[in-house]
Amino acid sequence: MSLVLDPAAQDLLFREARTANTFSDEPVTDEQVQAIYELVKYGPTAFNQSPLRITLVRSPEARERLVQHMAEGNQPKTAAAPLVAILSADNEFHEELPTLFPHFPQAKDVFFSERPAREGAAALNAALQAAYFIIGVRAAGLAAGPMTGLDFEGVRKEFLDDDHTPLMVVNIGKPGADAWFPRSPRLAYEDVVTTV
């Protein structure tokens, strides 16, 4: 019992949680998405930069446009999921740093005045936040189907702008019939952890 988190919560968030490939018809509400965000926004990022941006694809027209940019194997499940989110990195996140990092507002110009530095930082920290988002979806009792099999440039042009880099598309909802593939193996502790 080295973990303080309740075993049922451990199962919900990690051991029993799976990437869903089918979903029920039960809708995902804006209130659920807001509750997820209000929880996961506290996950740490460097300089509290918080570069993740979430685009909810709700309308049938927008869904059709998105499906066209998904890899063939991802198209049916993206078309059928109750909710789809495009997760992207805001490469102009530094404009928010005076608010988000008030004890050192100069960080905006000291560390992030150059676009390449911002893009690298945004990609890493938005990816961290994307992982928090997936865990938040699970905490809401929903399943997530994150996917990177897509035309990234097509998604950017269709839904974002030059200041946002798409990271992944996440299908969200209650799992449907035959939602899971068999669980793939994981590496053992001894294969991953080294002490120096």
Q: Using one digit for the tens of pLDDT, what is the confidence trace for 123-153?
A: 999 999 999 999 999 999 999 999 999 999 9
Q: Tell me yes or no: is domain 27-174 CATH 3.30.70.1150.
A: no
Cα 95 from Cα 127, distance rounded (Å): 19
Query: Among 96, 153, 91, which Cα is nearest to 120's?
Result: 91
Per-residue pLDDT, 50: 98
Residue 35 has pLDDT above 80, yes or no: yes
Query: How far is it, in rounded angstroms, from Cα 37 to Cα 42?
Result: 9
- Where residue 48 falls (left for φ over 0; alpha for ψ -120 to 50; beta otherwise) is left
Q: Where are the domains of the chain?
A: 27-174
Is residue 1 scored above 80 in pLDDT? Answer: no
146 beta partners: 170
- Residue 42 and residue 15: Cα distance in Å, rounded? 23
- Of 42, 49, 56, 57, nearest in space to 126 by CA: 49
144 forms beta bridges with 19, 172
Q: Rounded distance, CA 128 to CA 173, Å?
A: 21
Local structure of 90: helix, strand or coil: strand
- State the average pLDDT over residues 157-169: 98
Strands of the chain, DSSP E: 52-57, 83-90, 143-147, 164-173
